[in-house]
Amino acid sequence: MVVLEPAVRRMVRVQRVRGAILTAIALTGVSATAQSVSAPGLKAAYLFNFAQFVEWPADAVPTGSPLAVCIVNDGAVASALEQTVKGRTVVGHALTVVRLAPVATLPTCHVIYFGGSDQKYSVDLLETLNGRLVLTVSDAPRFARSGGMVELFLEGGRMRIAVNTDALQRGKVRLSSRVLQLATIVKDVPSQ
Rounded to a whole number of angstroms, the distance between the first and last alpha carbons of the chain is 55
Q: Considering the domain boundaries, does residue 191 fall inside one?
A: no
Domain count across the chain = 1
Q: Considering the domain boundaries, does residue 102 fall inside one?
A: yes
Q: Considering the domain boundaries, does residue 78 fall inside one?
A: yes
Q: Considering the domain boundaries, does residue 1 fall inside one?
A: no
Question: What confidence tens digit (pLDDT) does each residue in 114-130 have?
Answer: 887 667 777 787 888 87
Strand 174-175 to 54-55 pairing: antiparallel
pTM of structure: 0.79
Residue 12, burial from CB neighbour count under 10 angstroms (0-12, 13-18, 19+): exposed
Give dist(CA 46, CA 50) in Å, integer: 6
Give dist(CA 126, CA 134) in Å, integer: 10
Q: Considering the domain boundaries, does residue 80 fall inside one?
A: yes
* Residue-number span of the structural domain to which 42 is assigned: 6-186
CATH number for the domain harbouring residue 178: 3.40.50
Q: Considering the domain boundaries, does residue 115 fall inside one?
A: yes
Give dist(CA 145, CA 165) in Å, integer: 10
Listed range (7-21, 39-53, 136-150) with the worst mean pLDDT: 7-21
Give dist(CA 22, CA 15) in Å, integer: 10
Checking if the pLDDT of 34 tops 60, the result is: no
Q: Considering the domain boundaries, does residue 25 fall inside one?
A: yes
Q: Considering the domain boundaries, does residue 160 fall inside one?
A: yes
Question: What confidence tens digit (pLDDT) does each residue in 74-118 have?
Answer: 999 999 999 999 989 998 899 999 998 776 677 789 999 988 766
Checking if the pLDDT of 57 tops 80, the result is: no
